[in-house]
């Protein structure tokens, strides 16, 4: 089977654009606990059809009115929601900025919609969707229930599900002191995802189709 002359992102994941989302929160309950940081990291394709990390957008977020903040969660992340140096913005502005960039990337890559990539993706997706509902955002650019979970993929590829340990086994530099920042964790999750996808391709598990598949259903 011959390869197409140009490899395009829209042909790699049945029309979906993978976007890493990492969210740092004030607890584990998406309905009641605050979103404190959110970051999105994007990908591009090399001429060889490999995923490469492109760029990121990150926002510090003010807790929504009445949000719960668990002391144990704040201790874990090291986030001080009251610190004015955070330059935090309301949820609606943060999500608006993130979603606008996601929509632009989806359009530029010729994809139909975005698909969330996350480490324990159900956690980030839950908080993202809850925040979008609170902000009455009607056009969420992400698929409503499909995700790529790097915890699962890392367990398969490297035998470990913890982000720091999976990165170590993948020979990706990881700083524990910078971890639990949404921007940093999104970047490392993107590097991990790209490495697994690219290795799978190099091993022959994925070959580019000669004829582009139809749009995602």
Decide if 128 contacts 116 (C-beta within 8 A): yes
* Residue of 50, 122, 143, 180 with catalytic role: 180
**pLDDT for the residue numbered 172:** 97
**pLDDT for the residue numbered 216:** 42
Phi-psi region of 53 (alpha: psi -120 to 50; beta: other; left: phi over 0): beta
**pLDDT for the residue numbered 209:** 80
Annotated catalytic, 50? no
**pLDDT for the residue numbered 211:** 57
Which ranges of the chain have pLDDT less than 70?
Answer: 1-5, 211-217
**pLDDT for the residue numbered 215:** 44
Decide if 19 contacts 117 (C-beta within 8 A): yes
- Residue ranges covered by each domain of the chain: 11-149
Q: C-alpha 7: how far from its chain's center? A: 22
**pLDDT for the residue numbered 210:** 74
11-149 is a CATH 1.10.287.3510 domain: no
| DSSP code at position 68 | B
């Amino acid at each position: 089977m011959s390869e197409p002359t140009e490899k395009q992102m829209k042909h790699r994941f049945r029309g979906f654009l993978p976007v890493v989302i990492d969210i740092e929160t004030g607890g584990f309950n998406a309905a009641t606990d605050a979103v404190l940081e959110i970051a999105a990291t994007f990908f591009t394709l090399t001429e060889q059809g490999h995923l490469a990390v492109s760029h990121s957008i990150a926002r510090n977020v003010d807790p929504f009115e009445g949000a719960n903040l668990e002391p144990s969660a704040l201790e874990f992340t090291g986030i001080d929601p009251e610190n004015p140096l955070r330059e935090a913005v309301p949820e609606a502005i943060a999500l608006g900025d993130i979603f606008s960039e996601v929509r632009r990337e989806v359009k530029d890559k010729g994809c139909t919609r975005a698909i969330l990539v996350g480490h324990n993706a159900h956690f980030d997706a839950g908080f993202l969707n809850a925040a979008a509902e609170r902000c009455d955002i009607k056009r969420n650019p992400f698929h409503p229930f499909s995700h790529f979970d790097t915890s699962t993929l890392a367990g398969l590829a490297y035998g470990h599900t913890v982000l720091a340990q999976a990165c170590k086994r993948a020979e990706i530099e990881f700083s524990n002191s910078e971890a639990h920042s949404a921007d940093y964790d999104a970047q490392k999750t993107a590097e991990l995802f790209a490495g697994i996808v690219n290795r799978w391709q190099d091993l022959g598990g994925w070959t580019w189709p000669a004829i582009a598949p139809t749009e995602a259903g």
